[in-house]
Structure 1
């Protein structure tokens, strides 16, 4: 085992960037006294919403159905009773990459009968270059900090012993924070007069904050403490 002096440091990077994608959730519902009618209305409104979303082509990066339910609504809450209605719900999830059409899409979805729109939740793609850039900056800061410590002692760095995400070095028991992105800004969807397209809502993308932190240990020459 080497007896060379060790310098242990932490490097961190915090980046503020524009979002790359926006997540939307759409709940399409129906409510009828007859189960079959509730299903029929639900199928119609679900197809209407899907056709609308698909009309935006490549602007919508991802589209999927998150779930569906048909629930009987009872007349009495505390005991079994006659069913007064059936409520159907389809949950649609989509990812929008083109923010130029986002405001229009939100309001048009909100104009679909019995549709509830949630979002947008702003974010970055999982493989975004921003995360790599933050990691590189954190590593560079660790090197610069270690070099500054060495120079202050009249020494110089000679090698790297270990480099890891914060909390993952061999002598650390605590768990470090991973790079995260925030934040989500809710957008309301309004209706429109019969026979007209609703006006597009103006949505301002929320700044994403990405953090990366590393821990590093370097060997150094003997310090000049004289």
Structure 2
């Protein structure tokens, strides 16, 4: 085993970037005294929401159904089986790539009957170049820091022993979904709603590495 001096350091990089996508959670609901009617209403409202989302074409990057439930609502303190209504819910997850239509899409979705919209949650794509740049800068910082330590001791770096990724990730303070619209009012309201102004939130990306380098003997005299 080599007895060359070792210098162990940590390199870190913190980058700010504009978000690349925005995520919405669209909750479509129905509640009727009859099970079949509740299901029919849910089907109609789900189709209306999907048609509206689909009308934005490539501006919407992805549309996914996150879940569907039909739940009997039992009367309070009554015997089992005494059902007062049936409630249906569909969750639609929407990923929007074109922020110029986001405010309009949110308000139009919220204007649909018995629809709730949560979001937007701003984000970067998983393959975003920002993550690569953060990792590279963290490695470069580790090298620069090790060189500074070596120079302070009158030594110089001679080789790399180990470089380990401490992990890439969004800042822990990343935003949570915010409810922008509660359940919409009764159908038949005149005109289209005014689009809400949305300002994209800057994304913080952190990367850190740990590295060990060999060095020449220090000048401790």
Using the TM superposition, give the Cα deviation of residue 184 of structure 1 relative to its aligned residue in structure 2, in angstroms. 3.9
Q: Give CA deviations for 1:96-130 in whole Å, capped at 9, x if unaligned.
A: 01110000000000001000100001111111111
1:195 to 190, 193, 205: 190
Structure 1 unmatched ranges of 5 or more: 167-176
Aligned residue number for residue 141 of structure 1: 141
2:135–2:168 Cα contact (<8 Å) kept:
no
Aligned residue number for residue 152 of structure 1: 152
1:179 to 169, 194, 216: 169
Using the TM superposition, give the Cα deviation of residue 80 of structure 1 relative to its aligned residue in structure 2, in angstroms. 1.4
Q: Give CA deviations for 1:161-198 in whole Å, capped at 9, x if unaligned.
A: 000022xxxxxxxxxx5422523462513758713111
Aligned residue number for residue 98 of structure 1: 98
Structure-1 separation of matches of 2:107 and 2:137: 40
Give yes or no for the alignment of 1:213 onto 2:213.
Answer: no
Q: TM-score, normalised by structure 2?
A: 0.93
Sort the Cα spacing of 1:105 and 1:203 in 2 relative to 1 into closer, same or farther, 3 A: same
Q: TM-score, normalised by structure 1?
A: 0.91
Runs (4+) of structure 1 exceeding 3 A deviation are: 190-193
Structure-1 separation of matches of 2:160 and 2:112: 60
Structure-1 separation of matches of 2:123 and 2:206: 14
Structure-2 separation of matches of 1:42 and 1:222: 75
1:183–1:208 Cα contact (<8 Å) kept:
no
Aligned residue number for residue 163 of structure 1: 163
Using the TM superposition, give the Cα deviation of residue 18 of structure 1 relative to its aligned residue in structure 2, in angstroms. 1.0
Q: Give CA deviations for 1:68-96 in whole Å, capped at 9, x if unaligned.
A: 11111111246414211111111100100
Sort the Cα spacing of 1:202 and 1:32 in 2 relative to 1 into closer, same or farther, 3 A: same
SS at match of 1:179: strand
| Structure (1 or 2) with the greater strand fraction | 2
Structure 2 unmatched ranges of 5 or more: none
CA RMSD, Structure 1 to Structure 2 (Å): 1.6
Aligned residue number for residue 85 of structure 2: 85
1:122–1:184 Cα contact (<8 Å) kept:
no
